[in-house]
Amino acid sequence: MSKNNLVIYIISDSIGETAEQVARAGISQFSLEEYEIRRFPYITDRQQIMEMLEEAKQEQAVIVFTMVVESLKNILIEEADKNNIPWIDIMTPVIDSMSKVLHNSPRREPGLIRRLDERYFRKVEAIEFAVKYDDGKDPRGLKKADLVLIGISRTSKTPLSMYLAHKNVKVANVPLVPEVPPPKELYNVPSKKIIGLTTNPMKLIEIRQERLKALGLKHEANYASMDRILEELDFAEEIMKKLGCPVIDVSSKAVEESASIILEIFREIGYKIGNGK
């Protein structure tokens, strides 16, 4: 191997992406005419390590590795030293330092960062879903949802949708208004996937009056009148009975409490929603 021709073996008990990124960052600091990176992911036994080291020795390669399984890491270091193969251990200094600070032992399980990334992207997907199918914007989302919330205005449909989205649950919500028939797609959703939201009329008057105040409108508007609220609640109750869905009263509950009740309802009926909650 000439000084301008470098071969790097990336070895990992996971996919090796972290080690490759670090190796490339290091290489960028040198003016190399050519170099080659070879990645060997999912290394799980001694035989695989020995075969790679034999090849690395012949090619005068440098080994960069991320091995969190202690036994495999020790084999790799011991055998590389015996064969005078230069090696760089990416993970051990980081894990050891964190272990000292946290006063805790690492789990030593390969691939955990991938699982964290997957949960993160599922959460982002659920949040985007909640925004897209909020307030009945597109009824086509009802059949794709893990959960559908229905209720009249100011029954926490949107806050609950967003809160549950952060738990990887895809939620669509539909407002119930006497003058507007519910979308036909709602009646094709299994009742076990629907939660009805109701509230105390007196509490709702207060909430709606505050809403009108924030908008600079008069408190006497029909939106905040008792007759109108009772009409809407009766209409919603009729729809919920027709759908045969569970109903919860959100009038004196925080969003977190309502969400907990919803998730508990689904656990009790054995319907699983949201991957990786």
The residue among 171, 156, 142 whose CA lies nearest residue 277 is 171
pLDDT digits (tens, 9 = 90+) for 228-264: 999 999 999 999 999 999 999 999 899 999 999 999 9
| Predicted TM-score (pTM) of this structure | 0.61
Which distant-in-sequence residues (6+ apart) come within 8 Å of 83 by Cβ? 53, 56, 57
How many domains would you assign to the chain? 2
3-state class (DSSP) for residue 30: coil
| Distance in angstroms (rounded) separating the CA atoms of residues 163 and 134 | 13
Domain co-membership, 128 together with 102: no
Segment 36-76, tens digit of pLDDT: 999 999 998 999 999 999 999 999 999 999 988 889 999 99
Q: Which residue has the tokens 């990336």?
A: 10
Look at residues 110, 135, 169 and tell me which one is the last residue of a structural domain: 110
Look up residue 12 and give its two tokens: 């990992």
Collapsing DSSP to helix, strand or coil, 214 comes out as helix
pLDDT band of 274, cuts 50, 70, 90? low
Q: What is the mean pLDDT of the chain?
A: 89
Cα–Cα–Cα angle for 69, 70, 72, rounded to 5 degrees:
70
Together in a domain, 224 and 182: yes
Binding site for ADP, residues?
Answer: 151-158
20 and 71 part of one domain: yes
Residue 224, domain extent: 117-269
**Amino acid sitting at position 13:** D
The answer to whether the CB of 37 falls within 8 A of the CB of 10 is yes
Mean pLDDT of 189-207: 93
Residue 179 inside a domain? The answer is: yes
Bind-site residues: 151-158
